[in-house]
Amino acid sequence: MRWLFLLLMALLPLQWFVVGAGLRLHMAAILLFGAVVLATHGPHLAVRVVRLAEPFIIANFALTVIWVFANRYHSFGVRQPAEQMLLLGAFVAVAVATLAVLREPGGRGVEALRWSTWVCMVSLLAAMAWSLTVNGVNPAEVFARTIASGDPEILQRELFRSAFGGFGLAEESVMGNIRHEVFGALLLALCVSSACRLLRPFASRAAWALYLLGQGLAVLLLLLSMSRSVILALAVWPMLGLLRQVLAGRVTPRGAGAGLLLAGTAGVLTAIGVLQVLWVRFTEDTGSYEARDNLLQAAYDNLGRSLATGGVSTASASSHNFVIDTWLRAGIVASLAALVVVVLVCGLFVALAFTLPQEPAWMLPVVAMLALPVIRFFTAGGGLIPPVQWIALGVVTGFLAYRAYLLETPQPVRDSVPVAGVTA
């Protein structure tokens, strides 16, 4: 199962390839992964996962059923709600797979997942290199002009849109900044690697150095993605670490070292001009802010005529808000279910953040995984939970189920993982 999990990590960022019938490669991988997991694992792990996430599953199921009836009432197709129902099943399957891999005897699954970042990053870079070559784009030249001008639009227009175009994805989808989800997959892999490394530290210095190199390169790629939602989610990670230190009332050597590393990294990025480009991206590149404000105002105007049964298409006029777009599509009852989903996930994130001092060290990157789904509730185009966020939520659920398993199991048989105990 660990190799199948790593294969999913490798395919998750490859979202610009269409494999047939309009199905994108990462969606095909998710659905196939879910089917294999649910077919090969007994119900005992699924029961653990479902019990842990029962309110979340019920709220999403209710939302999707109402959406189907609303679409049929308005003579719309049901492909989108059907996809969300399949992704809900994939969420359960990913949680089951995560729990199964973490519980593998001798920690073999944990050891394999430490390399999630490298697997995801190499796959992404290889696919982008091929795509750029096919489309005749020189990435070094684009980066140089971006840094020289301080204009992030050059990178977005001439690198990412060029890389993602021409492989079966509609032009409007390429223009719709799919890099948010492409690099969201890399952020997820980064968190998984970190959590598993803390669960089972490296015995080899060479492996430790290779791991650090991969983590550093992945962070650099995330910054160069120019995806504000991904960068904000990445920034939540050190903020959680700082919160943990403050709540614990002490600064550990690891925390101090992480702070110095962040300061050094920021200095290097400033020296080579990357931070200047990011600053422009967040403070001066306001076109998307204004566009989203206009879309939000239009959504407010439409809420009245979609009060009970929805019926408003959000395909090209999304408010980028999960609750509001659900209301527009399927009515107020569905939006209440969506609000329950948001409250459950955000509440879990806040609760875990404030209990981090009492949690094992590996829970920090697990909690950090929740940052991207939380942010994307209020920023994702179409107002849906995107596939990468479904996978992230499934992985977090699997880790939480594993945490419960550790607390239930006598210490001598806890998978022989030396740092997976109940103390940080």
Cβ–Cβ < 8 Å for 375, 234: no
Predicted confidence (pLDDT) per residue in 105-131, tens digit: 888 999 999 999 999 999 999 999 998
In sequence order, which residues have a C-beta less than 8 Å from that of residue 43 and are 6 or more positions away? none
DSSP 354-382: HTGGGS-TTHHHHHHHTHHHHHHTTT-TT
Backbone angles phi, psi at 330, to 5 degrees: -130, 5
Residue 136 maps to a domain: yes
Q: How far apart are CA 50 and CA 55, in angstroms?
A: 9
Residue 119 maps to a domain: yes
Residue 64 maps to a domain: no
* Region of residue 150 (phi > 0: left; psi between -120 and 50: alpha; otherwise: beta): left
Query: Where does the pLDDT of residue 417 fall: very low under 50, low under 70, confident under 90, or very high at 90 and above?
Result: very low
Average pLDDT of every residue of the chain:
83
pLDDT for 177 equals 67
Residue 98 maps to a domain: yes
Residue with token string 């019938």: 21
Backbone angles phi, psi at 23, to 5 degrees: -90, 125
- Cβ neighbours around 33 below 10 Å, total: 21
CA dihedral for 289, 348, 245, 111, sign (positive or negative): negative
Residue 376 maps to a domain: yes
The better pLDDT of the pair 63, 379 is held by 63
**pTM of structure:** 0.86
pLDDT for 424 equals 34
How far is CA 143 from each of CA 128, 161, 348, rounded to the nearest angstrom? 14, 14, 39
Q: How far apart are CA 21 and CA 293, in angstroms?
A: 34
Query: Where does the pLDDT of residue 414 fall: very low under 50, low under 70, confident under 90, or very high at 90 and above?
Result: very low
Q: How far apart are CA 328 and CA 380, in angstroms?
A: 15
- Both ends of the chain: CA-CA distance in Å? 28
Q: How far apart are CA 376 and CA 20, in angstroms?
A: 27
DSSP 278: H
pLDDT for 162 equals 78
Query: Where does the pLDDT of residue 423 fall: very low under 50, low under 70, confident under 90, or very high at 90 and above?
Result: very low
Q: Is 366 a residue whose pLDDT tops 50? A: yes
pLDDT for 186 equals 96
Q: Is 43 a residue whose pLDDT tops 90? A: no
Residue type, 321: N
Nearest CA among 324, 21, 382 for reference residue 173: 382
Residue 300 maps to a domain: no
In sequence order, which residues have a C-beta less than 8 Å from that of residue 142 and are 6 or more positions away? 154, 155, 158, 159
Residue 192 maps to a domain: yes
Q: Is 200 a residue whose pLDDT tops 50? A: yes
Predicted confidence (pLDDT) per residue in 253-265, tens digit: 665 555 555 555 5
Q: What angle do CA 276, 277, 283 make, to 5 degrees?
A: 85
Residue 323 maps to a domain: no
Residue 23, helix vs strand vs coil: strand
Q: Is 338 a residue whose pLDDT tops 90? A: yes
Give the residue numbers spanning the domain of 213: 2-48+77-283+360-413
Cβ–Cβ < 8 Å for 332, 355: no
User: Percent of the chain beyond pLDDT 90?
Assistant: 47
Considering its fold, how many domains does the chain have in total? 1
3-state secondary structure 147-198: HHHCCHHHHHHHHHHHHHCCCECCHHHHHCCCHHHHHHHHHHHHHHHHHHHH
Nearest CA among 193, 178, 190 for reference residue 128: 178
